Structure 1
């Protein structure tokens, strides 16, 4: 209909971001949706064919996008995150990767029917999982910190090594089958890999120095960083193919462990870029497949190979490599199952398919079909099973969304106690041990940390908490806390209390982008709420039914009562705010802060009964 690159670009972006939204809205793996819409738009309906439409720039675009995605993922690899997990992680990315290569190569040879040479090339590539597939799944699965850290580190660290292992296997094949390839060629490959690592390390150190010493203004830091990433990848990759991925991974890990404040400030921007690129690249790759490739997937040997990789090779390599570590059987089982392949496997496989075919290996023609069969099968199987299996093995956080309250006080303690009674995960954070005294006595979970400190990021698991309430006695601090956690929690789930209602200092006069949403009503200030709790106000829970409607509840409630939140049957919490008043439906529970009139009446009735 529209034969232009502009239309293709628009459609790819729309399909990619649309897939992300569908995944979020219906709580299904977005990577699965992207695969399906890519196949529909490409080989099935023939609307687009990015590999033909983009021509010679297709592969460079994909390569640069993968490099940026891998760099963004490696920026999250802070060594402090794997305290206590160093040994299992090291075993999995070394011994585990080696076992997966050998076992996968043998499976490709004896089951898929590939020659031994081609099998060892593609076997090296199949050890990768990668941030493009594993990170979106981790965001949706709500895993506990240990299994999440294991999968994330394996996915990002092994990603470049899988590509390098495939290149190394290809060089070995060339060495034994081609007289023009000598031992010096192999030596140059290892030297190029070492150079790529040093290049990435040097770029990171240089970037860190100029950022920390103010040689780059704030508005240029993100462009400069991505410019250096592209340069680092390109220089390394031009010297030896696929070493560019190693260079950007080394660069990202080095920057992550330099703890530069500027890098943390750019976190939201980097994540947005990574999500956009992941969406676009996966749609482009699946849309570029041919019908012949899809039909070839139905070959019995390819299907048998995929099943063997899923149920034998991956579990066996994980269990054998983690012998003697402190991983539990549940953790080994879970990590041994979850290993979705993604963009790197597809892009590098297409490269080796053409290179090996040109070198005389006719069986290399099925590499693209074999790779896509494994990618699509693992994305579907692991994407839909990760949440279910994590719950079954006790490795997932409770589905009930929790509340993190920043600032200990009489009101926050009483609110936390009510949330706890409703079986809602709750945690109070405060840097003062004295202010936390009431929470400690009430048995409320707490953490004595400065929520804005970098150290808290590694001491506090944020996974259980979907809502945050900034409830300290400082308006400016509450606003700062909310602004800091916008990328992690989302603006719609960030709330804060106003300290007072004096004109001129009212937070509502500030811009909509500053701070969180102001809770409750204009009378519900920090001072007023604490005074009410200390004077005996109680938290009342009212069930809304078909017989007792919300309007009746509103008509009959005490004039001084303050509706706080509505608890939905699904576990979702809807807080009342100054700008958006909620309406409860039958089946909902309304929690309000109410004068203790009913309690006084009950006490009076009991006293009267005793007298009579």
Structure 2
């Protein structure tokens, strides 16, 4: 009981100074991961109990935020006007997985290549909540902020099919019923998007009709949007598809239909979405971080640091070749790709599908990557944003030249 009292008091205290901390080296993920670790190590929170809570809280948070992040994306505007995030998503993300796989093959020679590709894919999604000072800092021009916002809001949903594919290959190599795992993976990847597209599109159409006839209001629209995200997840699971992919695609379809008509989509991410994310990071710190640190090897540490300092920066640099992004902008984008909630939860999802030999190590790598990223990106976010803003002041490639905002608002503070 005392542990939960401390959690509540810390949350209240952080909320009271959160705005001031946006310009400091302290970020919410850093604070709540640290609090979780301390409470676990002192015995005020049971590691087992926190692990039981972590799964539902993290899954609910990811389902809702995948849906809402996707719903805020104007796909037409993204294709026409936003070359930087499109390049980072369509070229940078696959390049990160490919380069990471090559690095992993050197550091983990005993692992099958499918498992190496799987951990590389798990480490690829980014979460700008760990470097919030970047995407909320007015010193950074709007165009780079928006590019990071869109990229980190969409890359976890785009990475998930690859993660499921590599997980199926890894399971197929390590078990006798490999064919069944491949069929399972195919159903997960194919049925999830179909269910999500259907429910998201229909849900958006119903919302517009209800608004046109005055049978709903903004308060109830929010309830409906949350229920739609949950329905997309559960319906996909019911037919054998992946619920997270379904929620992501449902958000894309919903957003394409309503086109910004549902204000709740933006407001939730700024309030209740923050609380869900903070809770997930605290539970992660309490349930998984202590054990992950205890099992951290030099090979794991090298893989994590190379992923942060070499793999993503190189992939992003290559993806932006031929665009108007200046070298300093490419370096800035390459560094600010922190690993967050999606990395940890995706690892949790695949652990049960593959052999314990590799699954446990993957989970330790992912969890260690999250807290190391939270520390490094959190400390560097505010000073780096200030430095980058001063260096790019007046630069043409960072000027705000776009009239249409992909997300229909300046910044998303969870992923973006």
What's the counterpart of residue 115 of structure 2?
118
Q: CA deviation at 1:23?
A: 4.0
CA deviation digits over 1:84-141, x for unaligned, max 9? Answer: 6543323221221112112222323422566134322211111111365466752256
- Which one of the candidate residues 166, 170, 173 is aligned to 2:170? 173
Separation in 1, partners of 2:167, 2:408 = 45
Shift of 1:14: 4.4
- 2 CA distance for matches of 1:391 and 1:131? 16
- Pairing of 1:192-591 with structure 2 (within 5 A): 192-214=188-210, 216-218=215-217, 219-240=219-240, 243-260=242-259, 262-264=261-263, 267-289=266-288, 291-297=290-296, 299-358=297-356, 362-394=357-389
Q: Does 1:129 align with 2:135?
A: no
CA distance in 2, matches of 1:458, 1:151: 12
The structure whose residues are more often strand, as a share, is 1
Structure 2 runs not aligned, ≥5 long: 394-402
Q: Bigger CA drift: 227-236 or 215-224?
A: 215-224
Task: Indicate how the Cα distance of structure 1 residues 195 and 461 shifts in structure 2: closer, same or farther if over 3 A, else same.
Answer: closer
For 1:282-325, what per-residue CA distance to the aligned partner results, in whole angstroms no more than 9, with x for missing partners? Answer: 1111111263422333x322222222112211111111222222
CA distance in 1, matches of 2:409, 2:65: 24
Q: What's the counterpart of residue 563 of structure 1?
A: none
Q: For residues 261 and 347 of structure 1, what CA distance do their matches in structure 2 show?
A: 29
- 1:213 match: secondary structure: helix
Contact 1:315 1:333 in 2 (8 A): yes
Distance 1:235 1:322, change over 3 A: same
Secondary structure, aligned partner of 1:249: helix
TM-score (norm 1): 0.58
Which residue does 1:593 correspond to in 2? none
Corresponding residue for residue 416 of structure 1 = none
List per-residue Cα deviations over 1:221-279 (Å, max 9, x = no partner). Answer: 222221111111122245457x3222222222233333456412563245312111111
CA–CA separation in structure 2 for the residues paired with 1:185 and 1:126: 22
Q: Which has the higher helix share?
A: 2
Return the offset for 1:340.
0.6
Alignment pair present for 1:105 and 2:101: yes
Q: Cα distance, 1:150 vs. partner?
A: 1.9
User: What is the root-mean-square deviation in Å for CA atoms of aligned residues?
Assistant: 3.3
Q: Which has the higher contact order (CA 8 A, sep 6+)?
A: 2
Partner of residue 19, structure 2? 24
TM-score, normalising length: structure 2: 0.82
Secondary structure of the residue aligned to 2:263 is helix
Number of positions where the alignment pairs a residue of Structure 1 with one of Structure 2: 396
- Structure 1 residue runs of 5 or longer lacking an equivalent are 399-454, 464-486, 489-612
Cα separation, partners in 2 of 1:196 and 1:124, compared to 1, 3 Å:
same
Query: Whole-Å Cα distance in 1 between the matches of residues 358 and 374 of structure 2?
Result: 25
